[in-house]
Amino acid sequence: MIVSMTGFGQGDASDGRATATVEVRTVNHRFLDFAIKLPRNLQHRERDLKEVVKRKLSRGRVSVSIAVEADAGKRGAVVDTDLMAHYLEQLRAFAKAHKLSAEVSLDTLVQMPDVIASGEEDAGGDDVWPLVESALEKGLDACLEMRRAEGRALLRDLAERMRAIDTIVGAIEAAAPGVSRSHADALRKRVEQLLGDIQMNEDRLVNEIVLLADRLDISEELTRLRSHEAQFNKALADGGEVSKRLTYLLQEMHREASTIGAKASDPAVIQRAISLKEETEKLREQVQNIE
């Protein structure tokens, strides 16, 4: 199965004391990258959170936002008295060092950052981690389902674009024999014009023309293109983590198209080689979104 790296999912879990809500967003990235927003009293669980994500996802930039709120009837403000004491100590030390008044009012202390926590911020810690983990699993499952749905859409688009490439390659193959003969005839006429009345061994002339025409032959490039096509379609059918393999195959297909365009002198073949390069570029952009 082809899986996209773009997705969103939300999960909720409640145990009657608190409710955890998790939102998971993913976009394409070369590796598995994290952007995590945790309540202050759950920040020490970041490593555990990443391990849960790694069990579900292997690539993409993953943004996780977690909120834990006390259920109705259990909410209320909580004063962090230890933090207040720390602020008071620091303020008095500063006042003493700078010969200032050491009087610190209660109003000043309660306005310091994080001294008073709402029920939403305080509902948490190790006791609610199982609740958060459950919500995270649900969010990841929902996100993964969206990524799979996106992957199915990408698969249809990639298959359609590969059919377009197949048509272009087929047209180049059909024109290739005629192009080779045209090359040989044109080379023969050119050599004869250059030689004029000078006599030259016919066999040697033919050999030289064959060698020159062989340098302009595109049959090997076409053979490799067909091989890359087959491998690309097989990788799509097999599914899994195929983005890097598909990217490599498209790079090689683009290279063969460039070589064909450089070798060919036929305007129609050159135009088809350009179209082939354009299609491989479009495919490469889409493949970047695959896991």
Q: How far apart are the first and last CA of the chain?
A: 10
By residue count, the chain amounts to: 291
Pairing mode, strands 18-27 and 7-14: antiparallel
- Burial class for 122, CB neighbours closer than 10 Å (0-12, 13-18, 19+): buried
Query: In this structure, are residues 49 and 90 in contact, taking their beta carbons and an 8 Å threshold?
Result: no
Please count the CA atoms within 13 angstroms of the CA of 179 that sit on its side-chain side: 22
Query: In this structure, are residues 134 and 249 in contact, taking their beta carbons and an 8 Å threshold?
Result: no
How crowded is residue 93: how many other Cβ atoms within 10 Å of its Cβ? 11
Q: What is the pLDDT of residue 153?
A: 94
The distance between the two most distant Cα atoms of the chain, rounded to a whole number of Å, is 114
Amino acid at 249: L
Chain position carrying tokens 């209320």 = 76
How crowded is residue 178: how many other Cβ atoms within 10 Å of its Cβ? 12
Q: What six digits make up the tokens of 146?
A: 């969206």
Q: What is the pLDDT of residue 212?
A: 56
Mean pLDDT, residues 30-36: 93
Would you say residue 236 has pLDDT above 70?
Answer: yes
Q: For the chain, give the mean pLDDT.
A: 84
Q: What is the pLDDT of residue 91?
A: 84
Q: What is the pLDDT of residue 174?
A: 87
Query: In this structure, are residues 80 and 116 in contact, taking their beta carbons and an 8 Å threshold?
Result: yes
Q: What is the DSSP letter of 241?
A: S
Percent of the chain with pLDDT over 90: 51
CA nearest neighbour of 183 among 217, 206, 220, 221: 217
Give, in degrees to the nearest 5, the angle at Cα 267 between 158 and 259.
60
- Quick one: CATH architecture of 7-75+120-147? 2-Layer Sandwich (3.30)
Q: What is the pLDDT of residue 202?
A: 58
Mean pLDDT, residues 260-278: 88
Q: Quick: pLDDT tens for 69-123.
A: 877 555 556 778 888 888 888 888 888 888 777 778 888 887 888 777 654 444 5
Q: What is the pLDDT of residue 104?
A: 80
Would you say residue 287 has pLDDT above 70?
Answer: yes
Q: Quick: pLDDT tens for 143-190.
A: 999 999 999 999 999 999 999 999 999 999 888 766 656 655 566 666
CA separation for the pair 215, 279 (Å, rounded): 26
pTM > 0.85: yes or no? no
What would the 3-class secondary structure string for 132-192 be?
HHHHHHHHHHHHHHHHHHHHHHHHHHHHHHHHHHHHHHHHHHHHHHHHHHHHHHHHHHHHH
